[in-house]
Amino acid sequence: MDYDVIYIGSGNASWQGGRFLRKEGLKILIIEENLYGGACANRGCNSKAILDAPYEIKSLVDNYEGVGKSGDFDVDWPSLMKLKRQRIAGMSIFLDRKFDEYDLDVAHGKGIIIDEHTVQVGEKQFTTDKIVICTGLKPVIPDINGSEYLHDSNDFLDIEELPKHAIIIGAGFVGMEFASILAEAGFSADIIIRGDMALKYFHQPYVQRVIDILKEKNIKFHFNQTVKEVINNLEIDNPEDRVLNIACAQNSDEYLRDPMAKVNNIPHENGFTVNCESGLSLTGDYVIAAMGRTANVEDIGLENVGLTYTKNGIKVNGHLQTDVPNIYASGDVADTGIAKLVTVAIHQSKYLSKELLGGADEITYPAIPAVAYTIPRIATVGVPAYVADESEEYEVHTIKYGKSYSAVLKNDMTAEAKVIVDKDLQIVGAEILAADAENVANMFAFIINKKITLEELDYMIYTFPSSSSVCLYKLHNIHYDL
């Protein structure tokens, strides 16, 4: 065999564990078709963090409108995009060097499984004892007329100028996070949702609070709608039809009264029309498909070894093992029923290094915090509030620490948490709405996983002022039944 383990994909689901295997003497090959590091490093988490941060700051600055703020805080998107491209351009290079440092072999190209022990890259074939598939997910693009005009999250995170009026199809992480950026930038958007809720995995009362904030900033929501087609208005041959198409979508009296009035001066933001099956029509200058992600496993040779998959990925057992005993799947491409987050991918990759070194018990997961980086943020960890509300085993306590301590929370009045406790008053879950909900969620994850009691929390001393200290202080009310 050429290698002990071949990873197809170079994201966190592969190299995080692969380095430990190499340290134990196993020979490792990582195959990557695109940039080293995968989606999170090059097209997802890092890019979003860089582009989101100034708008997060702008929102905090706006908290002082009329009570300390002087002048305007504007974000210069072109220079911000330049920074993002500089930072992201170095990620793949950085990881390539890290792979050298860890003594991990790499092969650049598409990895195709030929049989249970052979993977081909270009003209070369490599043999291996075990294969780990880590190809992740890819954006869903619906099969509709005009799908070629749709942009995915990769496109938006590399756009030269923000659209003045976007149409966003979907209200999951991507759709709602992008809507927050557009809202803070002072632009408008229409969000089309197939079902009756946004961010369905998060606490819906908090989701509604974010929706209300976005609505105030010119973001419109259209629930229970299915997109039928996308039309490029600028490609309509007849100018009268072009203007009429825009008029119908806008239901604009101005256009309907004088359809030829703007034939030679059609606003850029009316470049595209999105038609829904219900008859709803919307116009905008940029259309984003934010309809989730699906398994990125096409043309990698699964059929050669009899493996099948669904949109959720490749089915694996509790050892991340597929139906072919020496082939495993790790990260987002693995259908485990667990949240598809980069943190989960790292956890699985590290587990798999132990499994491949001689076997391990089935993988277990701690309470996993998840965050929607809307403005403000929404986070969840552990037992969700909707489960607690339907069970006699739990109690839900609401902590409005923003209203109580806005003076030390950068005037963030929104900060609130719902803390779920069991009959022994042990914290088992939390829902958070706050400007820094991600940090508060990490705090609760530590409390839940380490089973720290309310009495122990009450004994500790914390830094003040800080969001964690005031949130923790409000937990005293549960401890003392106040």
Please report the pLDDT score of residue 394 as a whole number.
96
- Calculate the CA 406 to chain-centre distance: 28
Domains of the chain by residue range = 3-138+293-356, 147-289, 376-479
Please report the pLDDT score of residue 405 as a whole number.
84
Tell me whether the CATH fold assigned to 3-138+293-356 matches the one assigned to 147-289.
Answer: yes
Cα separation, 300 vs 468, whole angstroms: 46
How many CB atoms are located within 10 Å of the residue 275 CB? 20
* Digitized pLDDT (tens) for each residue of the chain, 482 residues in all: 899 999 999 999 999 999 999 999 999 999 999 988 888 888 888 999 999 999 999 999 998 988 888 888 899 999 999 999 999 998 888 998 999 999 999 999 999 999 999 999 999 999 999 999 999 999 999 999 999 999 999 999 999 999 999 999 999 999 999 999 999 999 999 999 999 999 999 999 999 999 999 999 999 999 999 999 999 998 765 555 545 454 444 444 333 334 333 333 333 457 999 999 999 999 999 999 999 999 999 999 999 999 999 989 999 999 999 999 999 999 999 999 999 999 999 999 999 999 999 888 999 999 999 999 999 999 999 999 999 999 999 999 999 998 888 878 888 888 999 999 999 999 999 999 999 999 999 999 999 999 999 999 999 999 998 888 989 888 887 877 65
Q: Which amino acid is at 43?
A: R
Please report the pLDDT score of residue 377 as a whole number.
97
Please report the pLDDT score of residue 69 as a whole number.
82
Q: Minimal CA–CA distance to 345: which of 88, 117, 25, 39?
A: 39
Cα separation, 459 vs 437, whole angstroms: 24
Please report the pLDDT score of residue 21 as a whole number.
96
Q: Which amino acid is at 399?
A: I
The CATH number of 147-289 is 3.50.50.60
pLDDT tens for 206-258 read: 999 999 999 999 999 999 999 999 999 987 655 555 454 544 444 443 333 34
Please report the pLDDT score of residue 127 as a whole number.
97
Cα separation, 316 vs 442, whole angstroms: 28
DSSP string, 364-424: ------EEE--SSEEEEEES-HHHHHT-TTEEEEEE-HHHHSGGGTTT-TT-EEEEEEETT
Please report the pLDDT score of residue 56 as a whole number.
95
CA distances from 164 to 74, 218, 219, 284, 403 (A): 15, 11, 12, 8, 34
Please report the pLDDT score of residue 236 as a whole number.
67
Superfamily of chain region 376-479: FAD/NAD-linked reductase, C-terminal dimerisation domain (3.30.390.30)
Return the H-helix or E-strand segment holding 334: strand 334-335
What dihedral angle (degrees, nearest 10) is formed by the CA atoms of 403, 406, 410, 415? -30
Burial (CB count <10 Å: 0-12, 13-18, 19+), residue 374: buried
pLDDT tens for 56-81 read: 999 999 989 888 888 888 999 999 99
The answer to whether residues 5 and 26 touch, using CB atoms and an 8 Å cutoff, is yes
Q: Looking at 134-276, which runs of residues are DSSP E strands? A: 137-139, 165-169, 188-192, 219-222, 227-232, 272-276
Please report the pLDDT score of residue 264 as a whole number.
32
pTM: 0.89
We find that the CATH architecture of domain 3-138+293-356 is: 3-Layer(bba) Sandwich (3.50)
